[in-house]
Amino acid sequence: MTQVVIIGAGPTGLTLAMLLAKSGIAVKLIEASRSFRRIFRGEALMPSGLAAIEQMGLSDVVSNIPHRAIDAWEFYIENRPIFRVNEPMESVGQPCTLISQPAFLEAVLEKANKRENFEFMQGTAVRDLLRQNDRVSGVRLSDGQEIAADLVIGADGRNSIVRQQAQLELVQAAQSFDILWFKLPTSPAWQAENVFYSVLRGQEAFGVLQGSEGNLQVGWSFDRNSSVDWQKVDWAEKLAAAAPDWLASHFRAQKEAIERPLLLSIVVGRCPQWHVPGLLLLGDAAHPMSPIRAQGINMALRDVIVATNHLVTALQQPANVAAIDLALAQIQAEREPEIIEIQRLQQAEVGQAELMHNYPILRHAVSRLAPVIGSRIRKSWLDRQLQLRQGFTPVDLKI
């Protein structure tokens, strides 16, 4: 019997598989996709995520794959700069760093493959969970193959099949927008420094930065209640009309090179319970995060460290299912308070944006009075970001 079956070879599943295998636990990692390359994968590692990477012994991986630090954050309202914050913020911790997630996953897989007790199965999806005596006892794959396990871990993202099969409830938070994601060639404006620009003009809002592999990436806030057919929009002109003048000219110049946008349907929420006997959810499978300030991958990596601390001890005890199930409850109890607080802060960030979006008079006043009130707005924003970046609870790898 395989000791642990992990479903999903994203950052959560792969790093957990590597750490468990390193500790002598037999692990089988199952991934439905045949490639780590996707149109969209989160890239941003905050100081909390970078600290987790360091504890896992993966800092060398980040150094050797395409990566790019963010140098500053700058905000525009109604075509006027409001404030700027340089990285690292308040000289605390490391700067937010963008990594090529496919390259990161490939490198972690290479390390995991060196362990004889690790097996990677790619290109086959999970269809069902196996159960024995009211306990999850393994998985059935889409090809009919059955794999028995002492523990099944769902790390298969916000639309988790494992969560659905385990009938674990996801309580979703209200969400008024989705994201349209674009890529296009970079601009000379990003050669000297990589600034994340956040732009609000009229009813339109987007963020733009230079990604880890050198192209520009744009996240456009798309109102779910909009009657606009986004697939028929002239996006070069739409982006240009909302952008500051210097950026608008670049969008128009790259009209033919802007890739067709990808609609990212945002799911935000939290499972009241992350586990049933024999099964645990981690990362976005347990608590899908808002895209605001890029917390998903960072919280997932911190989940992995806490899970490793508890699971290695429990799994090293021979056939002790009670110890395993107790560890599952301890993992949720340790991680849940931070997740609740991070999601609260993300919602506060969304609330600020919606306030500006819904009240044109407020937008106009802020843009006109920026020289006077910009420093106060900057401080309010910075206070929230410092909390979001560092995490709320100590997370230390103890194995």
pLDDT at site 39: 53
Contact status, residue 280 vs residue 155, Cβ threshold 8 Å: no
Q: 118 is in which domain, residue-wise?
A: 2-37+105-173+268-353
How many CB atoms sit inside 10 A of residue 17's CB?
Answer: 29
Last residue of a domain, one of 249, 265, 281: 265
In angstroms, rounded to a whole number, what is the distance separating the alpha carbons of residues 390 and 345? 13
In angstroms, rounded to a whole number, what is the distance separating the alpha carbons of residues 300 and 13? 9
Q: Is the pLDDT of residue 353 over 80?
A: no
Last residue of a domain, one of 242, 265, 288: 265
pLDDT digit string, tens, across residues 196-209: 999 999 889 999 99
How many CB atoms sit inside 10 A of residue 351's CB?
Answer: 9
pLDDT at site 134: 92
Give the largest Cα separation in the chain, rounded: 68
Same-domain check for residues 195 and 327: no
Question: Is the C-alpha dihedral spanning 361, 363, 364, 369 positive or negative?
Answer: positive
pLDDT at site 320: 86
Q: Is the pLDDT of residue 213 over 80?
A: yes
- SS3 at position 137: strand
Same-domain check for residues 113 and 169: yes
CA quadruple 59, 63, 64, 67: dihedral, nearest 10 = 120
Contact status, residue 99 vs residue 63, Cβ threshold 8 Å: no
Percent of the chain with pLDDT over 90: 69
**Across residues 298-324, what is the average pLDDT?**
92
Same-domain check for residues 236 and 287: no
In angstroms, rounded to a whole number, what is the distance separating the alpha carbons of residues 179 and 292? 11
Same-domain check for residues 168 and 298: yes
pLDDT digit string, tens, across residues 69-123: 999 999 999 999 999 999 998 777 789 999 999 999 999 999 999 999 999 999 9
Whole-number Cα distances in Å, 188 to 66, 211, 270: 19, 14, 41
Q: How many domains does the chain have?
A: 2
State the DSSP code for 224.
T
Same-domain check for residues 192 and 134: no
pLDDT at site 41: 66
In angstroms, rounded to a whole number, what is the distance separating the alpha carbons of residues 7 and 31? 6
How buried is 253 (Cβ within 10 angstroms: 0-12 exposed, 13-18 middle, 19+ buried)? middle
**Across residues 264-290, what is the average pLDDT?**
94
Same-domain check for residues 282 and 234: no
pLDDT digit string, tens, across residues 118-173: 999 999 999 999 999 999 999 999 999 999 999 999 999 999 999 999 999 999 98
Same-domain check for residues 132 and 220: no
Same-domain check for residues 21 and 112: yes
The H-or-E segment that residue 382 falls in is helix 370-390
Percent of the chain with pLDDT over 70: 97
Q: Is the pLDDT of residue 40 over 60?
A: no
In angstroms, rounded to a whole number, what is the distance separating the alpha carbons of residues 44 and 67? 10
In angstroms, rounded to a whole number, what is the distance separating the alpha carbons of residues 274 and 282? 7
Backbone angles phi, psi at 306, to 5 degrees: -65, -45
Last residue of a domain, one of 238, 265, 292: 265
What rounded mean pLDDT belongs to the chain?
A: 91
Q: Is residue 143 part of a domain?
A: yes
Same-domain check for residues 274 and 255: no
Which candidate, 240, 229, 232, places its Cα nearest to that of 260?
232
In angstroms, rounded to a whole number, what is the distance separating the alpha carbons of residues 234 and 143? 43
pLDDT at site 2: 65
**Across residues 284-309, what is the average pLDDT?**
92
Same-domain check for residues 252 and 275: no
**The model's pTM:** 0.94
Backbone angles phi, psi at 292, to 5 degrees: -60, 120
Question: Is the C-alpha dihedral spanning 74, 266, 348, 101 positive or negative?
Answer: negative
Beta bridge partners of 30: 7, 121
Which of 22-31, 130-139, 185-194, 287-296 shows the lowest mean pLDDT across its residues? 287-296
In angstroms, rounded to a whole number, what is the distance separating the alpha carbons of residues 223 and 206? 12
Contact status, residue 342 vs residue 388, Cβ threshold 8 Å: yes
Reading phi first (left if > 0) and then psi (alpha if -120 to 50, else beta), residue 24 is in left
CATH number of the domain residue 157 falls in: 3.50.50.60
The H-or-E segment that residue 255 falls in is none
Task: Tell me the range of 162-171, 178-187, 212-221, 350-359 where mean pLDDT is highest.
Answer: 162-171
Same-domain check for residues 135 and 209: no
Whole-number Cα distances in Å, 242 to 83, 188, 198, 235: 18, 20, 11, 11
pLDDT digit string, tens, across residues 165-198: 999 999 998 776 889 999 999 998 898 899 999 9
Same-domain check for residues 33 and 112: yes
